[in-house]
């Protein structure tokens, strides 16, 4: 807390100065367009923006604008991409099993549910293959579709036996 106040006092005196503080020599504070920005190059710290120009708290719009960049940085790791791909695949399988169980047990509107399932699968397939570049959210949607189709096939084999 005192480091933030000290950095604010230094930035008020000279807005272009970079002030070294903290336990790590790579940590610095600077005054930017939106307020005081703390950054560090060590693995234990993250970039934090303390306040805006007006001294008030961060607005919701600013947080919403940061979400795409944060998610891109989060999903750069191949292990995270594989993990969420598997979760999407299993999520599609779960939804297929739930739809099959609920409409199959009731015996009402099962034809309409089947039509909606086929339309959903065909629309996702058309949407996926019409894009020139496959993005990560689009790959997750395709994984969900594959799990959904696999779940419906497995349930059909269970009913046939």
Is residue 93 pLDDT above 90, yes or no?
yes
Higher pLDDT, 89 or 71: 89
pLDDT (0 to 100) of residue 134: 92
34-68 CB burial, b ≥16 within 10 A, e <16: ebbbbebeeeeeeeeeeeeeeeeeeeeeeeeeeee
Backbone φ and ψ of 70, nearest 5°:
-65, -40
What is the tens place of the pLDDT at every residue in 3-39? 554 444 444 444 444 344 444 445 454 555 555 555 5
Supply the pTM of this predicted model. 0.60
Higher pLDDT, 57 or 106: 106
Determine the Cα–Cα distance for residues 115 and 130; give it in Å rounded to an integer. Answer: 22
């Amino acid at each position: 807390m005192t480091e933030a106040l000290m950095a604010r006092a230094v930035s008020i005196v000279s807005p272009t100065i970079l002030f070294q503080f903290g336990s790590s020599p790579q940590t610095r504070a600077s005054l930017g367009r939106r307020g005081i920005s703390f950054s560090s190059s060590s693995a234990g710290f993250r970039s934090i923006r303390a306040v805006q120009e007006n001294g008030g708290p961060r607005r919701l719009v600013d947080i919403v604008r940061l979400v795409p960049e944060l998610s891109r940085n989060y999903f750069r790791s191949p292990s995270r991409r594989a993990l969420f791909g598997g979760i999407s695949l299993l999520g599609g399988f779960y939804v297929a099993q739930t739809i099959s169980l609920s409409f199959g047990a009731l015996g009402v509107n099962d034809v309409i549910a089947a039509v909606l399932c086929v339309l959903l699968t065909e629309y996702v397939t058309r949407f996926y293959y019409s894009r020139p570049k496959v993005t990560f959210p689009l790959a997750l949607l395709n994984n969900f579709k594959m799990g959904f189709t696999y779940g419906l096939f497995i349930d059909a084999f269970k009913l046939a036996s």
